[in-house]
């Protein structure tokens, strides 16, 4: 027992002080894309190489849909002028689907819930996670939030086993045709008022499966979505940042 106490003292406080302190991210991390139209020579290489058709040309300008982007970085690699680069910015969540379409360096981050909703969910938010055909990458980066390093519970947020005990849904995966009815039933089982979070490119747009007949191109084609968290998968801090912004906790 004494050895256990000594080891605990040596370890110190193990929960990272987020959001007071910005997270330490790995070198290979790719954050929010930055578009510089002035550098574009209209070669269209970035458009042709994008595996999810996330990049489109609008006249002589480039637009990037973060809801479709899987952050592979291929567009940055083929662009000699660096029209598109991936920054280190981890805050990617948006409250509206159209806000994920980057037309310039400006980005509208997710806003907090309205006052009446914050009064209900601000100190206690219970979420039912639904894997609607996901590959388990987004699910894994979500599950890790309950570990000591992130400690999601300190913000009053927890994942629960039943939709009857939940305040909302946390959806991953492109919503396959076999999961569409299950998702709708789960949504209906959550008491109102409720919120819905779509995490990952698949849950937002279908991701790499977009257009396939066995899936429905994202959650908002089945249920209303209040928060979109891009990524493939989203970094745990990106997910945490999005949830905290929804609850009005700045980062």
Q: What is the CATH number of the domain that holds 46?
A: 3.30.70.20
What total of structural domains would you count in the chain?
2
Position 245 pLDDT exceeds 60: yes
Q: What is the CATH number of the domain that holds 206?
A: 3.40.50.12280
Same domain, 127 and 57: no
Percentage of residues of the chain with pLDDT beyond 70:
98
Same domain, 53 and 148: no
Report pLDDT for 4: 77
Let me know if residue 129 belongs to a domain: yes
Q: Tell me which residue range forms the domain holding 224.
A: 115-246
Q: What is the arithmetic mean of pLDDT over 75-82?
A: 90
Let me know if residue 109 belongs to a domain: no
Distances (CA, A) of 197 to 8, 97, 224: 36, 12, 9
Structure tokens that stand for 70 in this block? 């899987």
Report pLDDT for 43: 83
Owner of token pair 């269209």: 44
Same domain, 80 and 155: no
Given pLDDT bands bounded at 50, 70 and 90, which one contains residue 250?
low
Whole-angstrom distance, CA of residue 199 vs CA of residue 78: 28
Whole-model pTM over 0.85: yes
DSSP state for residue 188 in the 8-state scheme? H
**pLDDT tens digits, residue range 211-224?**
999 999 999 999 99
Same domain, 74 and 138: no
12 or 163, which is more confident? 163
Given pLDDT bands bounded at 50, 70 and 90, which one contains residue 105?
low
- Measure CA 11 to chain center: 31
Position 198 pLDDT exceeds 70: yes
Report pLDDT for 93: 97
Report pLDDT for 124: 94
Position 121 pLDDT exceeds 60: yes
Same domain, 77 and 140: no
Report pLDDT for 60: 74
Distances (CA, A) of 167 to 68, 109, 160, 222: 27, 22, 10, 18
Let me know if residue 181 belongs to a domain: yes
Report pLDDT for 10: 74
Q: Kindly report which listed range (57-71, 118-132, 135-149) carries the lowest average pLDDT score.
A: 57-71
Given pLDDT bands bounded at 50, 70 and 90, which one contains residue 251?
low
Average pLDDT, the chain: 92
Let me know if residue 169 belongs to a domain: yes
Same domain, 124 and 240: yes
């Amino acid at each position: 027992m004494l050895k256990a106490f000594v080891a605990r003292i040596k370890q110190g406080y193990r929960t990272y002080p987020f959001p007071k302190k910005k997270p330490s991210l790995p070198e290979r991390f790719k954050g929010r894309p930055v578009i510089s139209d002035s550098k574009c020579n209209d070669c269209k290489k970035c458009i042709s190489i994008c595996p999810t058709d996330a990049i489109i040309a609008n006249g002589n300008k480039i637009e990037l849909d973060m809801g479709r982007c899987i952050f592979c970085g291929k567009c940055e690699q083929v662009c000699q002028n660096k029209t598109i680069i991936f920054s280190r910015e981890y805050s990617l969540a948006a409250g509206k689907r159209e806000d994920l379409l980057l037309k310039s360096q400006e980005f509208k981050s997710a806003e907090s819930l309205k006052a009446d909703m914050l009064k209900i969910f601000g100190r206690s938010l219970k979420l039912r996670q639904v894997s609607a055909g996901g590959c388990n990458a987004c699910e894994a980066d979500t599950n890790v939030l309950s570990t000591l390093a992130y400690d999601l519970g300190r913000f009053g947020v927890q994942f629960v086993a039943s939709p009857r005990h939940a305040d909302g849904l946390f959806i991953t995966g492109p919503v396959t045709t076999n999961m569409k009815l299950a998702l709708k039933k789960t949504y209906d089982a959550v008491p109102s008022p409720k919120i819905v979070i779509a995490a990952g490119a698949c849950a937002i747009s279908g991701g790499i499966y977009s257009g396939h007949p066995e899936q429905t191109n994202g959650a908002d084609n089945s249920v209303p979505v209040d928060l979109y968290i891009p990524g493939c998968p989203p970094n745990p801090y990106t997910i945490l940042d999005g949830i905290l912004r929804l609850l009005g906790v700045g980062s």
